[in-house]
Every structure is written in structure tokens, then in C-alpha cells.
Amino acid sequence: MWGKIWKFIGNLSCCNGVCLSNGIQVASETVHGANLAAQQVTCDIEVCKGIPTAEEKKTAEPNSSFLHAVLNMTGMLIGLGQLSTPYALENGGWTSAFLLIGLGVICSYSAHLLGKCLDKNPKSRSYVDIGQNAFGKKGRVITATFIYLEIFMALVSYTISLHDNLIRVFFGTKLNLSWGRLSTSQMLTVIAVLIALPSLWLRDLSSISFLSSGGILMSLLIFILVACTAIFGGVKANHTIPVLQLDKIPSISGLYIFSYAGHIVFPDLYKAMKDPSKFTKVSVVSFALVTCLYTALAFMGAKLFGPEVSSQITLSMPPHLIVTKIALWATVLTPMTKYALEFAPFAIQLEHHLLVSFSSKTKMILRGTVGSFLLLVILTLALSVPYFEHVLSLTGSLVSNCICVIMPCAFYTKICWAQLSKPFILLNITLITFGSVLGVLGTIVSSKSLVQNLQRSIHGTG
């Protein structure tokens, strides 16, 4: 049975086409945002705007300039993770900012390593291709497993965020349903997800691809709105941030690393550049910009709200301010636009593995049904485990850490072993060890926190 499951996962990762949308947002938001979903779908959906499709590549060279590439990579990195940086800094202490910056440097270096792996084997087109070049078919299967796991866990985090912010948007609203045991906030979340559900039945995502293009603008908007809270909202930035809370470092490290997730689509960006030799410069500039934004937002939020800062900065903003309402609506609408794009890789590959004799309508029905079922599973999980900071930390520690730190270093070391000097080998092994230790500790702590919160919730309702 397990052999068949692994084989299916391996087959899901074998699509040759790749896609990268201008300004597209990851969980990261790995990568989160639509980055993971847009990957590997060019052969089925022409969503790309700034990067040529397979047909266009026959008559045109890749046209991604340096600035264009920087904007794309920055858009991939900025996303859901930025909401939790003030909470992470407040809980870890102001010296944990060095961890945030350090992880930014490490992730920039690992992005550089992915570029080197692509240099070594120009036939590689995606993250899973690099995994296969390094460790064969098993490497491809393991890499694909982490990709789909990140998609799934990121969507759970998005749905929890949707739930938390909907409560504030519709504060005071009460829904009394005699046939249901759901609270008002849970019912609002169900309604929002059901509104987004029909998008999973679309095969041509080009009609909604524009929804993913506002990643950078949305993130900058939230940053500006938090600043406006300090300037015009009457909230004074006079709270003292602790120096260091060492016991919180493992859990907040997962929040920090999740904020830098985006490596899965970096090979797409590399292949789209006019001059791939500038990929390293693009990585350095993009990660520097994102790190500065995260650090500034983290200090601003922690100074404004202190120990009361929420795991999502939008929930700490004064509810009566117009800037708060805008920020809340921006945070609510973002998850609703992500579901179809995030599901695209799995849905397209599922359709490819259906019988050829099936009609297009039958394939669409099966594809939509499976997608709807998975979304309802995600909704159930999000409502059952509504602990945003712990789920996000677990995602970062367990999955994003592997994709952003451990795997790129392992891939590069394996592929280029013969050409590497001892200092470089030692550096990569050190980073793999560092990522592994941080990932294991973060996974244990965040999992323990989740279990404890669940137990308290059960005892509280029991």
C-alpha cells in the first residue's frame, strides 16, 4: 500500500512544464501564496504574463530583466509570514532579530546554491528535478512530498487566518442556527470557504490569475497601515521589548523561517532570466529587501503593542480605526483567492492520471470533487485546531526549514561534491546540522503547544 502511495506522489511531480506569474505571492508563503500552485502548470494553463510559455520560447528568449526578477522573487517571499513577525520578536526578545536576519542570509545563500545546481545540470527545470539529480527517484519523491505537504499546511494556516480576521471584520454579528453546533465565527468561516469553493472547479485559471498579482502591494499595504496606526491612531510605541527569551526561540524560529519560504519556484525564476548569472545578485537584493521589511514591521508591531501583540498583527490594531478595517479585509480576502491556485498542481496532475476514455466533463467533475473534499478537510482541521501561531510554527519548522535550508545545501553538496573545497563542504554540513537541530526543536515545541492547547480546549468544553 505504502509503495503505491509513494509511486503516486512520484508521478505527481513529473510534469515537465513550469510557470511563474508576475508578482505572484508563497508558502510563502512557501511559499506560500500562489507560488507553489503556479509551479508546473504551464503545460495546462497559460497564466504567465511576463515569462514566455513553452510555445513562445521557441521564438523568443527569456525576457526577465534584473529588476523584473527582483520584483518577482520579492513577491514570492512576502506573504502570510509577515503577520507574525511582531509576535515572534516580542516573544523571542529583540535579540531574536539577529536570528531573523541570520535566517534571511542563510536562505539567500541556499537560493544561490539552487542556482549553482541548475548551472551544473541545465536540463533541470524545477525544484523536484534538482532533488532527482542529487538523490535519484527517491530524492524526487521526497521533494515532491514536502512540496505538497507545504501546500496543505499553508492552506490550513490561511484558513485559520481567515477565521481569526473574520471575527474582527464582523464583530458583534451573531448567527443562530438551531441545526448546527458551530459558533458564529466558525459559521462565517464556513460561508467564506463555500464562497471560494466553486473556484476549485475552474480548469482555466487565467480568469482569476490576476488575484495573485497583488502580493507585494497587499503586503506593503499592511506595513503602511501598521505605520499609520502609530502616526494617526493614537497608539504610542513605548513598550519595552524583552532582550531574550531563550525558551521561546525554537517555536519562533519556525515563524521566521516560514516567512522566507519561496525556494520551490526559484528554479522557474532562474530559467526565465535573460542572464541567469545574475541570479545570485537577484537573491541577495530580494532577501535584503524582505528582511528589512520584516525586521522593521517586527520592531514596529512589538513596540506598539508589547506583550499584548497578537500572532497576527492585524488583530492587535485598534478596531475603530479605518486603517484597521482595511487591513482586516485585505487579510480576509487573501486566503479566499489562494485556494484554486494552491490546488492547481495536484488537481492538474490528478486529471492527467485519469483514464483517457473519460470525457472532459467527467474529468472536471472528478477534479472538482476531489479538490472540494480536500478543501473541506482543510476547513475541518482549521476549525478544529484554530491556533495560528502554533500551526504556522509547525509548518515552518517541519516543512519550510527542509525546503529552504536543509535540502538546497544537501542537493548542492551531493551534486557538486567533487568540485567543492573542504571549507565549503564544512559550511554546508554545518548549515544542514543547524537547520536539522532548529527544525527538530521547533517541531517538538510547536507540536507540544498544539497538543496542550487542544487538551485545554477539550477540558474547557467538557
Q: Are 355 and 161 in contact, with CB atoms under 8 Å apart?
A: no
Residue 175 to residue 186: CA distance in whole angstroms: 10
CA distances from 375 to 34, 200, 304, 351, 369 (A): 15, 9, 36, 17, 10
pLDDT of residue 89: 96
Q: What is the pLDDT of residues 300-332, one digit of tens each?
A: 999 999 999 999 999 999 888 888 889 898 888
Q: How confident is the model at residue 56 (pLDDT cuts 50, 70, 90)?
A: very low
What are the C-alpha distances in Å from 193 to residues 67, 84, 200, 261, 429?
36, 23, 11, 25, 43
pTM to 2 decimal places: 0.83
Q: Distance (Å, rounded) from C-alpha 254 to C-alpha 441? A: 10
Q: How confident is the model at residue 444 (pLDDT cuts 50, 70, 90)?
A: very high
Least confident of 57-66, 114-123, 453-462: 57-66
- Three-state SS at 255: helix
How many whole angstroms separate alpha carbon 23 and alpha carbon 213?
Answer: 5
Q: Which residues contact 172 (CB under 8 A, 6 or more apart)?
A: none
Q: What angle do CA 276, 279, 280 make, to 5 degrees?
A: 140
Of residues 87, 91, 77, 74, the one with CA closest to residue 298: 87
Q: How much is the pLDDT for 462? A: 55
The CA–CA distances, whole Å, from 213 to 22, 25, 71, 266, 301 equal 6, 7, 11, 17, 26
3-state secondary structure of 337: coil
Report residue 254 as a C-alpha cell: 519556525
Task: Give residue 84's Cα distance to chain centre.
Answer: 13
Which runs of consecutive H residues, i.e. helices, occur in 233-278? 249-259, 266-272
Cα–Cα distance, 183 to 164 (Å, whole number): 13
C-alpha–C-alpha distance, residues 181 and 202, integer Å? 32
Q: Distance between CA 193 and CA 198 in Å, rounded?
A: 9
- C-alpha distances (whole Å) from 203 to each of 21, 101, 171, 372 are 17, 40, 36, 14
Residue 238's pLDDT band, with cuts at 50, 70 and 90, is confident
Give the percent of the chain with pLDDT over 70. Answer: 79
pLDDT bracket for residue 36 (50, 70, 90) = very low
In which residue are the cell numbers 514566455 written?
Answer: 52
**Which residue has better confidence, 350 or 92?**
92
What pairs with residue 64 in β-bridges? Answer: 273
Q: Which residue has the higher pLDDT, 111 or 47?
A: 111
Cell 488537481 locates to 347
- Confidence at 136, pLDDT banded by 50, 70, 90: very high
Instruction: Name the E strands within 205-247.
Output: none
pLDDT digits (tens, 9 = 90+) for 155-193: 999 999 999 999 888 876 777 665 567 888 888 899 989
Give the residue, 40 or 100, on which the prediction is more confident.
Answer: 100
Q: What does the pLDDT read at residue 208?
A: 58
pLDDT digits (tens, 9 = 90+) for 358-372: 777 787 788 788 888
